[in-house]
Amino acid sequence: MAPKHQTKVAVLGLGYIGLPTAAVVARSGAAVLGIDIHQTVVDTVNSGGVHIEEVDLDALVQGVVQRGLLRASTQIERSDVFLIAVPTPCDDDHAPDISHVLAAARSIAPVLKIGDVVILESTSPVGTTEQVRDALEVLRPDLKFPHAGNGAAEIAVAYCPERVLPGRILVELIDNDRCIGGITPRCARKALAFYRTFVRGACVTTTARVAEMVKLSENAFRDVNIAFANELSIVADTMGLDVWEVIKLANRHPRVNILTPGPGVGGHCIAVDPWFIVSAAPEQTPLIRTAREVNDKKIHHVIARATALIEANPGVPVACLGLAFKANIDDFRESPARLVAATLARKYGSRIRIVEPYAAQLPREFEGTGASPIDLDAALEDCGVLIVLVDHDVFKSVPLAERSRHAVYDTRGIWPDQPGQVEQVGLRLVG
């Protein structure tokens, strides 16, 4: 019997999505080539290492590299499936920048052959997958590309958004349902066959444009819901109410599920993606835009409350707990905690100490402020003011006995038993 053809998969972009995806696809038996423009990333992966922190990723990458199933390069090679997972940032006016996606697509063009499947996973404005097709079509007029209504293209082009939650990426890559949008139904079916090789969740096919909008809707939905929680927390502050108690009791209603207030919304997804919808339909999106603004405004509210607490405790050292954009990860991109802590560091200098178990050193904006890193035990010992900015498990586990004599501002609600939080701070601080 002839040996089974081993599918060759090229993953373009070895970031938070691309590298775990490449490793999971490799584990399923495909020969995976990871492409990245950074030589250091390529070298790290080829040595079996990882440049990002994600639960269990190091062991998985080491295993598939050792077995020869995953290797990395800066140069594209002929493959059967091309998966694009590069960043799609926003510019200063909140307009999406798809230049990395189009550059990745153009890099594929020289090696494309009949039967290949090109899949875009990057969060993208509606219509981007068609632009990928158009970019390839210009460079490869010898190949037949899919257009609505022409079933018999030689290349399949599809969109399949990633949906994984940092911290649970390897689990969710396998277990989450996937929404696979083809430029034509045939494209969707080709992409579906690829995802079935490693996804256990249901794989549902649709059009590329619907799949693009599905992804944006998911993150805008979460942003709007977090904005509701953050707005409630600002209202509760002005009324002198404990927002955590209000939410806990409201959530006993069978159809109410209010999310958790925090210092604002961070990360590279939820704080960015809703703008892709707003920018495409500015007149029709007052709610989505306002949610973005409410979540951004929460950061300034937190800075004002923290400032009031610090001023009320003159000369007392202050510990900011956490810099990451959310709990238990080492990702500091678009992090409200980082912004709050850096603002306080610029204002109060050496009084500010930073506890961040996930950072080897403080980010650059802390240089010259006088603020210093400190471990949790020393912070509890030395700092009379504690400002909780991230709900890392290690912070949650600090018992009341170790923090009862401190003045605390807990932006994440991790210490519900902390006495006097509502009374401690100025209550008329809004925005």
Q: For residue 179, indicate whether it is catalytic.
A: no
Question: Which parts of 354-383 interact with ligand SAJ (CB under 6 A)?
Answer: none
The rounded distance, in Å, linking the Cα atoms of 87 and 390 is 25
**Residue 301 found at the interface with ligand SAJ (CB under 6 A):** no
* Count, residues in the chain: 431
**Residue 266 found at the interface with ligand SAJ (CB under 6 A):** yes
Q: Compute the chain's Rg from CA coordinates.
A: 24
Which residue shows structure tokens 């998985």? 60
Backbone φ/ψ region at 414: left (φ over 0), alpha (ψ -120 to 50), beta:
alpha
Can you point out the beta strands (E) in 201-273? Answer: 203-207
**Residue 265 found at the interface with ligand SAJ (CB under 6 A):** yes
Each as own residue / partner, the long-range contacts of residues 146-154 (CB below 8 Å, 24 or more positions apart, any chain) are 146/182, 146/183, 146/184, 146/186, 146/187, 147/183, 147/184, 148/183, 148/184, 149/184, 150/184, 151/184, 151/185, 151/186, 152/186, 153/184, 153/186, 153/187, 154/114, 154/115
Of 233-241, 258-266, 277-285, 361-369, the window that binds ligand SAJ (rule: CB under 6 A) is 258-266
Please, what sign has the CA dihedral across residues 283, 287, 293, 296? negative
- Choose, from 160, 179, 203, 269, the residue flagged as catalytic: 269
CB nearer to ligand SAJ: pick between 50 and 76: 50
**Residue 325 found at the interface with ligand SAJ (CB under 6 A):** yes
CB nearer to ligand SAJ: pick between 218 and 242: 218
Q: For residue 320, indicate whether it is catalytic.
A: no
**Residue 259 found at the interface with ligand SAJ (CB under 6 A):** yes
Q: How far is CA 24 from CA 6, 11, 45, 175, in A?
A: 15, 11, 14, 12
Of 21-29, 87-95, 261-269, 413-421, the window that binds ligand SAJ (rule: CB under 6 A) is 261-269
Binding string, residues 202-241; x marks residues near ligand SAJ by CB under 6 A: ----------------xx--x---x---------------
Question: Which parts of 165-184 interact with ligand SAJ (CB under 6 A)?
Answer: 165-166
CB nearer to ligand SAJ: pick between 34 and 266: 266
# of chain residues touching ligand SAJ (CB under 6 A)? 20
Work out how close the CB of 222 gets to ligand SAJ at its nearest, in angstroms, rounded to a whole number. Answer: 4
Binding-site ranges for ligand SAJ (CB under 6 A): 123, 162-166, 218-219, 222, 226, 259-260, 262, 265-267, 269-270, 325-326
Query: Which residues are known catalytic residues?
Result: 215, 269
